[in-house]
Structure 1
């Protein structure tokens, strides 16, 4: 009995010693599940391989079906911190994206494709992190863009400026400052990892945001470099690339991509308004399928109204115009979005979304052929571009966080 008593007291003392250490560290499991049904007025299907001088032949068909991650991409993740003392901590975040309808991992079937990073955080020096991370456009512009009003369906066509976080930066080092009176800024560098070159397939950028009271303003810049000496690339180095739709697939052979983006929001009463701007430039290399620099400019406006504590309504419009293409008038895209959101609880909500886009003018296909521009609504349109000049997408669903 004495031995049992002494062992119990010893364990109790050890537990008392360990509790403060455990309380200074934390690991959180979190996630979002989002599912529904939807209608797409036109979704292209290739009937030929195509080639130089022979554009791919597409047929177009409407599609009713299951929809995964429309309001928010389905995800689960782990994030944690360890207090190192003196206002310093070690931090990490691992986040998996997946399709709730099939269970398949997203972002190129990566285990932690949305985010995977670790680093150090200081109350006075900011945060330094290493891994697969969002760029400053996502951090400082995307967080106050149309996505907060009408989801990725309201992104600039094809999310060509990455405001809706279609792409991430691999093998990157990122620094973010502390928040100074509402202002924060940061920068990122992604290593290309190409033997013999420190530039091939690297990426770098910087940005900042001011958020104080009813006003929020953000700006970001990103420069990404492809592998020189190739006629095409999967952009599998530091930067994923944003070439997943008919909007810009004809420029995937660019030697480099530059993005400038900005956004602002202002709230008054139950109403919030916002504006956004994106400028994307593709620079050709010796073996690219296009010979001159090509630029897209996008501008958008959004408005949201909190009708009741549980109901929010929103609408958005954006316009995108591209440069002239090989002597022909460049592409133009007009897009309108409507959204409604109903909170059943703090964690669960219902939503309804509508997006419509009309395209005109000419652009390039993946082989460099001049073709008629076709529609691809917002970020949701990536991979389901239309074969015609118009596209309508309707989604209804349920979203739950944990």
Structure 2
């Protein structure tokens, strides 16, 4: 009898373990994106610059291996444990890398794209903690120009983070459930600085409304630098935002503020999109510029699904900054054309071209007034030009797993 009871207990325990295991999951996923690229007028430093003396640049053509043009190459793990009554524990760890060299992306972080853990409830929403995307990425970027055309179509320099070049470290994010097409979210990133809750902190609010073929997203973000003689270094829980010639002269800002919005509308096989953002950099007494510099960006896109295998998209972006020290304001006009051919649900071919024309004056990283130079799209694809024009061409293959 004791043997029968023991066997029954063992079988029951195994069944319970199997049931618990069935309620939990861990998924491995990723994207590998590689191809060939051409960049015109790429800036090559002839003489290094310093305060009072701008760098001397020459433009060179560059034919090169291209990694992560359409989507940044990555691999990641997603986990979920069902806790009952619509509640689940979740986590996500996502690594970015260069497929051409094997090097880690996002400043050599192990999980630089995303790293968070949290709780998700069908009734009350989702709370996550870690290194995450902000509401601009979640609600504006998801229907913005880069969702149709790739990061090459980001507003110049990705000043507004619609193409998610920046993440928030040490952050808490809450996203509501969708209610009649409306979803809201909020994020706060801690600076982790003794004696100051504000230094290096970030906060953001946003939302998105969808109704049939129509979608509209909007968000606000404020990121704070350390107050003091920062020496040109942006130190904040909001990272990776001053890497192009568009805004590198404002890395000593006391804080930055972004208001962004985008919309999309599906008409048969064609999706039309509009986007707008306002990005402001405010100086402190320690900054290398004075007052406030403002960039307004606007764009329009159209994407045509010609058949299940072929999609073509076109876009135009215009960015204008405010005048610096009485000089002519910097302006950037950008055109993009992309085509995508889907070999399967997992594998696609693509070809993309972008062109940008810059004018006016801006600041370099040393605070010198210089001619504005072109820099197409996000910093992952665009390499700043030595002059006022730039052309990018990319062809490649993307595989999802």
Report the counterpart of residue 360 of structure 1 in structure 2.
359
1:270 Cα deviation (Å)?
A: 0.4
CA separation of 1:240 and 1:30: change in aligned 2, threshold 3 A: same
Distance 1:187 1:264 in 2: 20
Q: Which piece of structure 1 moves more, 148-157 or 48-57? A: 48-57
**Alignment of 1:258 onto 2:257:** yes
1:130-186 CA distances to partner (integer Å, 9 max, x unpaired)? 000000100000000011111000000010110000000000011000010111001
Task: Provide the rounded CA distance (Å) in 1 between the counterparts of 2:114 and 2:200.
Answer: 19
Q: Distance in 1 between matches of 2:3 and 2:358?
A: 80
CA change 1:306–1:383 in 2 (3 A) is: closer
Displacement of 1:45 in angstroms is: 1.5
In structure 2, what is the Cα distance between the partners aligned to 1:3 and 1:392?
Answer: 80
Give, in angstroms, the shift of residue 232 of structure 1: 3.1
Equivalent positions of 1:337-376 (< 5 A) are 337-376=336-375
Superposed CA deviations along residues 344-391 of structure 1, whole A, max 9, x for unmatched, are 000000000000000000000111111000000001566610010000
Per-residue Cα deviation, 1:102-127 (whole angstroms, up to 9, x for no partner): 11110010000000000111111111
The answer to whether 1:212 aligns with 2:211 is yes
> Do structure 1's residue 392 and structure 2's residue 365 form an aligned pair?
no
**What's the TM-score, normalizing by structure 2?**
0.97
**Pair 1:58-2:38 in alignment:** no
Match of 2:92 in 1: 93
Change (3 A) 1:328 1:308: same
- 2:299 corresponds in structure 1 to 300
Question: Do the aligned partners of 2:243 and 2:379 also contact (CA within 8 Å) in 1?
Answer: no
Q: Structure 1 residues 284 and 196 mapped into 2: Cα distance closer, same or farther (>3 Å)?
A: same
CA displacement, residues 229-264 of structure 1 (integer Å, 9 cap, x when unaligned): 124354343110410100000011100000000000
1:117 is aligned to 116
Helix, strand or coil: the match of 2:101? Answer: coil
**Residue matched to 1:78:** 77
Cα pair 1:231 1:289 within 8 Å, conserved? no
* Alpha-carbon distance between aligned partners in 2 of 1:274 and 1:316, rounded to the nearest angstrom: 9
Which residue of 1 is the match for residue 153 of structure 2?
Answer: 154
Distance of 1:219 and 1:299 partners within structure 2: 14
Partner of 1:273: 272
In structure 1, C-alpha distance between the alignment counterparts of 2:280 and 2:12, rounded to whole Å: 64
Residue 58 (structure 1) shift: 1.0
Counterpart position of 2:165: 166
Q: Secondary structure of the equivalent of 1:17?
A: helix
The CA distance in 2 between the partners of 1:38 and 1:7, in whole Å, is 67
Post-superposition shift, 1:15? Answer: 2.5
Q: CA deviation at 1:49?
A: 2.4
How big is each residue's C-alpha offset from its partner over 1:299-356, in whole Å with a ceiling of 9 and x where there is no partner?
0000010111110000000100000010101100000000000000000000000000
In structure 1, what is the Cα distance between the partners aligned to 2:243 and 2:309?
Answer: 35
Count of aligned positions: 401
Unaligned runs of 5+ in 2: none
Provide closer, same or farther for how the CA distance between residues 192 and 143 of structure 1 changes in structure 2, counting only shifts above 3 A.
Answer: same
Residues 320-329 or 48-57, more deviating:
48-57
Report the Cα distance in structure 2 between the residues aligned to 1:62 and 1:7, rounded to whole angstroms.
76
**Residues 33 and 6 of structure 1, relative CA distance in 2, 3 Å threshold:** farther
| 3-state SS in 1 of match to 2:47 | coil
In 2: Cα distance, 1:140 partner to 1:258 partner: 17
Asked if the contact 2:152–2:382 (Cα under 8 Å) also holds between the matched residues in 1, the reply is no
In structure 2, the residue corresponding to 1:187 is in which secondary structure? strand
Matched residue SS, 1:47 = strand
Distance in 1 of aligned mates of 2:25 and 2:233: 38
Kept in 1: contact 2:244–2:379 (CA 8 A): no
Contact 1:350 1:399 in 2 (8 A): yes
RMSD across aligned positions (CA):
1.7
- Number of the residue aligned with 2:247: 248
Deviation at 1:212, TM superposition (A): 2.2
Consecutive unaligned residues in structure 1, runs of 5 or more: none
d(CA) in 2 for partners of 1:319 and 1:200?
32
